[in-house]
Chain A
Amino acid sequence: MVGVVSVAVNLLMALGMAGGAGLWIDRTGRPSRTRRVIAVVVGVALGALTWWGITSVDKLETTATGVVVSILASGLIFIAANKLFDLAPDRWAVFTTLVGAAGSFAVFAMLWGNRGIDDPALRTVVATAIGGVAGYLLGTVERSGQRLAIGIGAGGVLGALAASGMRNVGLKFTVEQREFVVWPILPYIDYGVLAGAILVGAVLGLLLWQARGRRNPLARSLLLGGTIGFFFGGWLLPSLGSATKTDAFVAAVGVGVGIGAYLGLKPIPDHSARGRIEVSARAYIFLVPALGFIASTLIIPTLRTLFLSFHDARGQEYVGFVNYGDVFGSPNIFNVDGWAGIFGSKLFWVGAVLLLIGVGVSVLMGRQSGYRISFSPGSGGLAALGALLALFAVFAALRGTVFNNLWWVVTVTVISTTAGLAIAVLADRSKGESVAKSLIFMPMAISFVGAGVIWRFMYLARDVSKPQTGVINTFWVGLGNLSLSRGPGFWIAALLSLALAALLVRLAIRAWRVGERGVGAGAAVCALPLVWFAYALWRGVGGFEVRDNGDVVASTIQFAQQAPFNNVWLMLVLIWIQTGFTMVIFSAAIKAVPSDLIEAARVDGASEAQAFWRVIIPQIAPTIGVVITTLIVLVMKVFDIVKVMTNGNFGTQVIANEMWQRAFTELNFGLGSALAVVLFIAVLPILYVNIRRMQKAAS
Chain B
Amino acid sequence: MKVKLVRLLALMAALALVAGACGGESDTPSTPETVVVTSIVTETETVTEVVTETVTEVVTETVEVEMVNPLAGTTVTVFGPESSDAEAGSHQAALDIFAAQNDMTIQYTGERSFSDLINAQAAGGNPPDIAVFPQPGKIADFAREGWLLPIPDDVIATMEANIGAAWNAFGNVDGVQYAIPTKADLKSLVWYRPADFAANGYEVPGTWADLKALTLQMIDDGNVPWCVGIESGGATGWAFTDWVEDLTLRYEGADFYDEWVAHTIPFNTPEMNAIWTEILELWNTPGAVYAEGGTIASTFFGDNGRPLVEGDCMMHRQASFFSAFFPDGTGFGPDGVDVFYFPSVSGDRPVLGAGTLVAAFRDAPEVWAVMEYYASPEYADNRQRFQNLSKGGGAVLSGFLSPNLNADLGLYQPLEQSFLDILFTAEVVRFDGSDLMPAAVGAGTFWSEATSAVNGDKTVDEATQAIEASWP
Identify the A interface with B (CB < 8 A): 2-3, 5-6, 9-10, 12-17, 19-21, 23-24, 29-30, 54, 57-59, 62, 66, 69, 73, 76-77, 80, 83-84, 94, 97-98, 101-102, 105-106, 109-110, 112-115, 120, 124, 128, 132, 170, 175-181, 183, 313, 330-332, 460-466, 473, 556, 558, 560-561, 563, 647-651, 661, 664-668
Offer 28 A-B interface pairs, CB within 8 angstroms, sorted by A.
A6-B28, A13-B21, A16-B14, A16-B16, A16-B17, A17-B17, A21-B14, A23-B7, A23-B10, A59-B38, A76-B14, A77-B15, A94-B8, A110-B23, A115-B26, A120-B23, A124-B20, A175-B29, A177-B107, A178-B40, A180-B126, A461-B294, A558-B298, A561-B297, A561-B298, A650-B297, A650-B457, A665-B116
Tell me if A665 and B439 are in contact (CB < 8 A).
yes
Tell me, in angstroms, the Cα distance from A109 to B25 when the chains sit together.
Answer: 11
Given contacts A465-B312, A650-B452, 4 further A-B contacts (CB under 8 A): A23-B6, A176-B40, A558-B294, A650-B451
Tell me if A83 and B292 are in contact (CB < 8 A).
no
B466: A residues at CB distance < 8 A: 331-332
Picked from B23, B37, B472, the residue with its CB within 8 Å of the CB of A313 is B472
Chain B interface residue bracket vs A: 35 or more
User: What is the minimal beta-carbon distance from A289 to any residue of chain B, in angstroms?
Assistant: 13
Tell me, in angstroms, the Cα distance from A9 to B17 when the chains sit together.
Answer: 8
Tell me if A175 and B37 are in contact (CB < 8 A).
yes
Identify the B interface with A (CB < 8 A): 3-4, 6-8, 10-29, 33-42, 75, 77, 105, 107, 116, 119, 125-126, 233-234, 236-237, 290-295, 297-298, 307, 312, 439-440, 443-444, 448, 451-452, 455, 457, 466, 469, 472
B35: A residues at CB distance < 8 A: 59
Tell me, in angstroms, the Cα distance from A2 to B28 when the chains sit together.
Answer: 9
B469: A residues at CB distance < 8 A: 330
Picked from B4, B18, B294, the residue with its CB within 8 Å of the CB of A464 is B294
Please judge, given known A-B contacts A23-B6, A561-B455, A650-B451, whether A10 and B18 are in contact too, CB under 8 Å: no
Top 7 A-B pairs, shortest CB-CB distance: A20-B14, A461-B294, A13-B17, A112-B23, A113-B22, A109-B19, A16-B17
Max chain B C-beta neighbours (<10 A), residue from A13, A21, A313, A558: A13
Tell me if B15 and A105 are in contact (CB < 8 A).
yes
Tell me if B297 and A20 are in contact (CB < 8 A).
no
A178: B residues at CB distance < 8 A: 33, 36-37, 40, 75, 77
Tell me if B21 and A73 are in contact (CB < 8 A).
yes
A84: B residues at CB distance < 8 A: 11, 15
Tell me, in angstroms, the Cα distance from A345 to B319 when the chains sit together.
Answer: 45
Tell me if A80 and B290 are in contact (CB < 8 A).
no
Tell me if A19 and B457 are in contact (CB < 8 A).
no
A9: B residues at CB distance < 8 A: 17, 20, 23-24
Tell me if B443 and A666 are in contact (CB < 8 A).
yes
Tell me if A105 and B41 are in contact (CB < 8 A).
no
Tell me if A462 and B294 are in contact (CB < 8 A).
yes
Tell me if A73 and B18 are in contact (CB < 8 A).
yes
Nearest neighbor of B33 in chain A, beta-carbon distance: A180
Please judge, given known A-B contacts A58-B38, A461-B295, whether A83 and B11 are in contact too, CB under 8 Å: yes
Please judge, given known A-B contacts A13-B24, A109-B22, A461-B298, whether A62 and B451 are in contact too, CB under 8 Å: no
Please judge, given known A-B contacts A24-B10, A331-B466, whether A558 and B295 are in contact too, CB under 8 Å: yes
User: What is the minimal beta-carbon distance from A3 to any residue of chain B, in angstroms?
Assistant: 8
A80: B residues at CB distance < 8 A: 11, 14-15, 18
Tell me if A13 and B439 are in contact (CB < 8 A).
no
Tell me if B451 and A113 are in contact (CB < 8 A).
no
User: What is the minimal beta-carbon distance from B299 to any residue of chain A, in angstroms?
Assistant: 8
A76: B residues at CB distance < 8 A: 14, 18
Nearest neighbor of B31 in chain A, beta-carbon distance: A63
B4: A residues at CB distance < 8 A: 94
Nearest neighbor of A107 in chain B, beta-carbon distance: B19
Tell me if B19 and A105 are in contact (CB < 8 A).
yes
Tell me if B125 and A2 are in contact (CB < 8 A).
no
Max chain B C-beta neighbours (<10 A), residue from A170, A558, A661, A666: A666
Nearest neighbor of B448 in chain A, beta-carbon distance: A649
Tell me if B440 and A666 are in contact (CB < 8 A).
yes
Tell me if B23 and A19 are in contact (CB < 8 A).
no
Tell me, in angstroms, the Cα distance from A587 to B36 when the chains sit together.
Answer: 50
Tell me, in angstroms, the Cα distance from A490 to B290 when the chains sit together.
Answer: 31
